[in-house]
Structure formats: C-alpha cells, structure tokens
Chain A
Amino acid sequence: GAVVSQHPSWVICKSGTSVKIECRSLDFQATTMFWYRQFPKQSLMLMATSNEGSKATYEQGVEKDKFLINHASLTLSTLTVTSAHPEDSSFYICSASLTGDYGYTFGSGTRLTVV
C-alpha cells in the first residue's frame, strides 16, 4: 500500500528559528501532497496543497511567507516554518494519495514545540 514517510517525528526549536519538515512518498509518485495542522483537541486543518513543480496553494488565513512549501520532486515535499513562534507549536501532518479514489495516506506527523 501507499506509504508516506514524514520526519522528524518531533522537534523543539527556539523562538525565531526555522524548522524544516520532510514528507516522502515511499512507493508511489505523488504529484500532490497536502499539509495539515492539528492543535490539541482539535481536528485537522488543511494548510496548503503542495504541487510538484509549481507553487503551493495556501488556504485562507495561512501565511505563505511563514510556511514555505517546496515540492521539487514527485516523492518529496517539504514544509519550512520560518521564524517560528510559540503559537506555531502544533502537530503537522502531510498526506498524499495515489489517486483520489484510494483514500489519503498520512505521514506519521511532526510534533513541533517552539520555546
């Protein structure tokens, strides 16, 4: 089945620094990947759609200059949280799909804590 690898699984960083999160499709090519954020006791909220070879599409209210997305190959998308602040502390999860009909596989998630 489709496997999406995400790392790191957790990261602690100082306020003002940047953090990069990687998401890889291991056994399939993903032209599109999705990045979600989940705050404690809340559901997943889509942040952006990552398209291979083109600019990401951000959801309303998500700062594209703060959350940089790069999808340079068919198997790798990265999310960089720039100038992180404590309010960016959250669980970040990527997902991809072979096709829309097969459901969406999620990466294992990255717990970001900004201190």
Chain B
Amino acid sequence: QKEVEQNSGPLSVPEGAIASLNCTYSDRGSQSFFWYRQYSGKSPELIMSIYSNGDKEDGRFTAQLNKASQYVSLLIRDSQPSDSATYLCAVNIDDGGTSYGKLTFGQGTILTVHP
C-alpha cells in the first residue's frame, strides 16, 4: 500500500517563527517529492519540489529529503499570517510504467500563523 502521511495538525506558530512540516512515505520507489500550499476553497499551488537527498532552499522555504528514512520536510522561516493554509506533501512514484506522473498526497497539515 503506497501511503503518504503527514501530521494533521493543526500547527500554530507565531509570526516570525519557523514552521516545520513533516511527511513520511511508505514506498521506497518514490522519486519525486513536492510540497503544495492550499488555501481554503482554492486548488493547490506548488511551493517546492525536491528529488535528491539533502536540503533545497527557495526564499523562506527549505525542503529536506532523506530517502533512507523515507522522510521529507518543509521549513518555513519568518512565518507570516499569509502562510496560513493547508500544506500538502505529494509523492511521485516513478516506476517507468503505469505510475508515471501520478501523485499520492498526504492528508495535509493545517498551519496557522498568528500575529
């Protein structure tokens, strides 16, 4: 069973703090990992993608991947109230066959950044 699990939260942090979001996945064949942000009533928007072990930084966002531990995380520095949303972890299993391009989503973590 291919699964992606996230802490459902909600996670509440004060403005300016670091928000840490975690995700684990079950299938070792997973190759591509994505973090999406979804505001209420809207479709997801891509924040970060990561494919190799280690850290990847983009502005206030840092994605961390550890394939051995089957773990991917997202850090948001200097959190702002506008970051309040549901964050979805998504995993693509590239087996070169029928799973190509398909994303499996975690249940999402609700983040609230309070002033």
Give the B-binding residues of A (Cβ under 8 A): 6, 32, 34, 42-46, 49, 57, 93, 95, 97, 100-109, 111
Contacts and interface: CB of A to CB of B under 8 A. Distances in A.
B71 interface: no
B88 A44 contact: yes
A101 B51 contact: yes
B103 interface: yes
A100 B32 contact: yes
Given A43-B108, A44-B105, A108 B88 contact: no
A108 B43 contact: yes
A106 B100 contact: no
Contacts of A108: 42-43
B49 A100 contact: no
Instruction: Kindly name the residue among A34, A45, A104, A108 whose own CB sees the greatest number of chain B CB atoms within 10 A.
Output: A104
